[in-house]
Amino acid sequence: MDKYLEGLLNYIKKYENKKVDTLFSEFHISSKAKSKNFMLSQALISNYEGREIWKAKFEKYKINLKTIQLKENGKPKEAMSFAPINYQKIVTETWGNSEFKNYLSNSFLFFLFKIKDKQNIFVQAFIWNIPKEDLNGEIKLVWEDTKKKISEGTIIKTIENKKVIMWFLTEKVTNICHVRPHGSNGSDVAKLPVKDKKTGYEYASKQSFWFNHSYLEKIVENHLEEHL
């Protein structure tokens, strides 16, 4: 591991197993936002050597910062979302030059949190790199399926009680990643490059790729097993 990352992770270790609220007070953070875990993660890194420095180094080393929230039973509370799919751009990409593949090819710095005795605890931070067989296996297939449906205008399966049901691959039929809405509500839409053939819609709700709950659970289990 690079000396910078090793030093950063060693620094963060001293904050492990502390309550999030306690760390918020320690770092003088005040927020009721849903993204408290992410804000704390940024604060821990910034406190190591400054916000602008870590931003530049993360860009240099191509590191993605993400958080994982575990429930009391140790299971991930939520699937992990990525940036909304750019409908206009994905149809012009190949898998090899796609934004999603390039993003996933970077290293991830995960901050792990867990509910314990009704309190949210910062557990630890660790570096993770996606296995190539996952990236160029199922994830590639899900990406290609998504691109194909957008390109062909076959994204809407049906409309039930004014709710639009998409043809995109869901968590029920995949092992690693799936596609589902990303917008704040159904009216958060983006223009399609091709009209949907079934409905004639020129706009559709924003969607994104998500890591499945079970895949996140596997990432956490594998890391913790390596560090027992």
Residue 45 has pLDDT above 80, yes or no: yes
Q: Which domains does the chain have, with CATH numbers?
A: 3-226 (3.40.600.10)
Q: Taking a C-beta distance cutoff of 8 angstroms, is the pair 63, 106 a contact?
A: yes
Mean pLDDT of 154-164: 91
Query: Which residue intervals of 50-198 are DSSP H helices?
Result: 51-61, 87-90, 99-104, 132-134, 140-152
Mean pLDDT of 133-154: 98
Q: What is the pLDDT of residue 1?
A: 64
The reported pTM is 0.92
